[in-house]
Structure 1
Amino acid sequence: MPIMKPVSNVARVAGRRPFRVSIEGNIGSGKSTCIKFFEKYQNVETHTEPLNEWRDVSGHNLLGLMYSDMNKWMFPFQHYVHLSRLKIQTSPPSNPNITVKMFERSVQNSRFCFVENAKRQNFLEDPEYQTLLAWYDYTEKCLDISLDLIVYLRTSPQVVFDRMLKRGRAEESEVPLDYLQQVHESYEMWFNSQDVGCEVLTIDADKSIACVKDDLERYTYKVLGGNHTN
């Protein structure tokens, strides 16, 4: 059953910007499917992860390079991911009728999940790690990157490993089960820390897509900020 976890009293200023919802979860947890579920609402602007952008950074497949050699390419990849997520998260809505902005993963995810995991696994040297922390700290201080809700599609590493192999993305062919376990543990640590800053709606995404969609339907009013229209 989905779990709502209140984390802080950080509130969105009414009328200042759209309600921001980050869809979070491991590789293969169903984030894109979740976002697609909400595309039917005309007041919602959705953004999937910019994979094509990461595959063509002036002709370089940065995503593929990162998976092929994490020690060598993790730093430039995370640097570019932060930039691309920042543009999605802070850009103005496409039209004035948008009241909800929904995106696949967040700037906060990069900082507290993937960067932290990369440091623990020694994919980042300490100067690289400190550079990424300084980049995030400056961003948080100077820009409004706050979230209003996180939808966490919680999965077991073995389940998403099987899904990942089945969908067959080229860059993911070299991703081991151990890495998915690390990402899972990083999510769990993040959501049990003081660094979340908003409510977390946890959904059991080990279940079938149909069951997950039922949960999304049940919590649509909450996910869309309590004020949505068809």
Structure 2
Amino acid sequence: MPLAVWGLLGVSVRCCSHFHRLVPRTRSRRGSAARLYSNKSKEVEKLVICVEGNIASGKTTCLEYFANSSNIEALTEPVPKWRNIWNHNLLALMYEDPSRWAITLQTYVQLTMLQQHILPQTMPIRMIERSIYSAKYVFVENHYRSSTMPAVDYAVLTEWFNWIVTNIHIPVDLIVYLQTTPETCQARLKSRCRTEEKVIPLVIPADHDVQKMLKQYEDQKEKILYPFCKRSST
């Protein structure tokens, strides 16, 4: 992927440094998108890229750009589902009262992100906005550390997550993080005018202090990559 394209979005890019450890044994380790086609079998080698970043960092815009390619399928976050589950706006409820609704939203996020991951891949390259791993190791962890998710809720969600990643194959080949300033994110939030996002102040560390979120992401990187690291070491 040309970095110049990401630069047009006004963001800097950080790629996971453990790319080789992300690839399960069942995948070929040829590496680049330019070699997605096998010379011997002519079969397509499929690549999965997760695009991570803050709220309003440019993830959706980025995916929409690459979706115009004939060999890339782009899956944006299933936000419409979070905003309307049986006529309930779960995203808005969580922002209004995180202590009450964090566990409910994150349980549903975990389900809907899993559904994204296991959809049959129809193109050589799949790009996914965020992932089940960042949902757990960034947002759930932050809720727990900031006391908006009780220990018992955190334990249940963690047990459920651990079962998923142990029993369901969720391939990820590359993680790209779009680093954007909190001020830029805040300005974009105002301009896109999602009703539930109007209650988000700049000081929420889970979503709007990029440095804290990035540090959390880096601190949890090995845990995010753990299923793949374990598979590679056996």
- The bucket for the TM-score relative to the shorter chain is 0.7 to 0.9
Q: What SS does structure 1 have at the residue aligned with 2:74? A: strand
Aligned pair 1:61/2:89, yes or no? yes
State the distance in 2 between where 1:87 and 1:27 align.
Answer: 21
Q: 5+ residue gaps in structure 1?
A: 199-230
- For residue 23 of structure 2, the aligned residue among 7, 11, 14 is 11
Equivalent residues in 2 for 1:98-177 (5 A)?
98-177=123-202
What is the one-letter code of the residue matched to 1:107? I
SS at match of 2:67: helix
Q: C-alpha displacement at 1:16, in angstroms?
A: 9.5
Q: Which residue identity does 2:156 align to in structure 1?
A: T
State the Cα distance separating 1:146 from its structure 2 match: 3.1
Instruction: Report the residue type matching 1:11 in the other structure.
Output: V
Alignment RMSD:
2.1
Contact 2:144–2:150 (Cα < 8 Å) also in 1: yes
- 1:22–1:104 Cα contact (<8 Å) kept: yes
CA distance in 2, matches of 1:139, 1:17: 25
How far, CA to CA, are the matches of 1:197 and 1:16 in structure 2?
25
Alpha-carbon distance, 1:188 to partner: 2.2
- Aligned pair partner of 1:189 in 195, 210, 216: 216
**Normalized against structure 2, the TM-score is what?**
0.77
Letter in 2 for 1:47: L
Q: Mapping of 1:34-49 within 5 angstroms?
A: 34-49=62-77
Distance in 2 of aligned mates of 1:107 and 1:9: 18
Q: Distance in 2 between matches of 1:141 and 1:36?
A: 32
5+ residue gaps, structure 2: 1-11, 29-42, 227-234
1:226 maps to none
**What's the CA shift for 1:18?**
2.9
- Structure 1 residue 187 displacement after superposition: 3.1
Displacement of 1:66 in angstroms is 0.9
CA distance in 2, matches of 1:21, 1:92: 15
TM-score (norm 1): 0.78
Quote the offset at 1:80 in angstroms.
0.2
Aligned length: 195
- 1:80 and 2:105 matched: no
Inter-partner Cα distance in structure 1 for 2:17 and 2:50: 15
Q: Identity over aligned residues, as a percent?
A: 31
In structure 2, C-alpha distance between the alignment counterparts of 1:17 and 1:81, rounded to whole Å: 29
Change (3 A) 1:17 1:114: farther
Residues 102/3 of structure 1: CA separation in 2 closer, same or farther (3 Å cut): closer
Give the partner amino acid of 2:165. E
